[in-house]
Amino acid sequence: MTLLGSPTGWYLPEAAHPYYVLAPHFDIDFAAPAGPNPPLDPASVENFKDDESVGFLQDDAVKARFAAAKVIGPKTVDVGEYAAIFYVGGHGPVIDLASHEGNIAVANEFYRAGKTVAAVCHGPAALVGVTGADGKSIFDGKAATSFTNDEEVTMNKVKDIPFLVEDRLNELGATFVKAPEQWGVKVVTSGTLITGQNPASAKGVGEAILSALKGEIN
């Protein structure tokens, strides 16, 4: 997967940090549009050298889960087996998941079943096609956050992506909230929807998911 010539995909700390919050308590499966071993944004490997991010890539259990990742779609993901769905960021979700019919079908099922739906950074882009049974967007009337326009400008990626996630959430009726400063931590829970602003918010999203699912901990 490339972003105008630059490799992209899922963003390392946004997977690693929530994973190590949740893995002690839940069985976790991975899914992606093409199934096993979805592409990793190499810049995230270069930029994040914390113990959890480095360890995530070396973790045999994680490697096995990536190798067995499901193709995301209603025929391959049985929503009844899961308590929640979580979308990692990186520019990948803006490029493929936002319009992926299988993803939208699965996320719709989670949302309409009243299950926790969570995303961090660019991950909310995967939810822009999701609606309730009433046809209203998952973001309509809810507080939510994502990677901000200002952060995208700072990264010099505005021209490279099909839409700005903050703008799209506002268009869909969200009350967009963000940290006072770029790269600050912001996690927002609104009903069954949990969103985080950026990589620094990923662990907090994991903790919010854990709190939401506390009645279902193994």
178 backbone dihedrals φ, ψ, rounded to 5°: -155, 165
Cβ proximity of 135 and 215 under 8 Å:
no
Q: Is the dihedral of CA 103, 104, 107, 113 positive or negative?
A: negative
Unique residue bearing structure tokens 């956050």: 145
Alpha carbons 97 and 102: distance in angstroms, whole number = 9
Alpha carbons 70 and 74: distance in angstroms, whole number = 11
Residue 2: its pLDDT value, please? 44
- Using alpha carbons only, how large is the chain's radius of gyration in Å? 16
Unique residue bearing structure tokens 């899914």: 31
Alpha carbons 79 and 99: distance in angstroms, whole number = 20
pLDDT per residue, tens digit, the chain (218 aa), is 444 445 689 999 999 999 999 999 999 999 999 999 999 999 999 999 999 999 999 999 999 999 999 999 999 999 999 999 999 999 999 999 999 999 999 999 999 999 999 999 999 999 999 999 999 999 999 999 999 999 999 999 999 999 999 999 999 999 999 999 999 999 999 999 999 999 999 999 999 999 999 877 65
One-character DSSP codes across 74-113? TTT--GGG-SEEEE--SSHHHHTGGG-HHHHHHHHHHHHT
- 167, HSE (Cβ side, Cα atoms, 13 Å): 11
- List the structure tokens of 175: 């009350």
Residue 4: its pLDDT value, please? 44
Q: Do strands 70-71 and 31-32 pair parallel, antiparallel, or not at all (unpaired)?
A: parallel
Residue 6: its pLDDT value, please? 57
Alpha carbons 126 and 73: distance in angstroms, whole number = 13
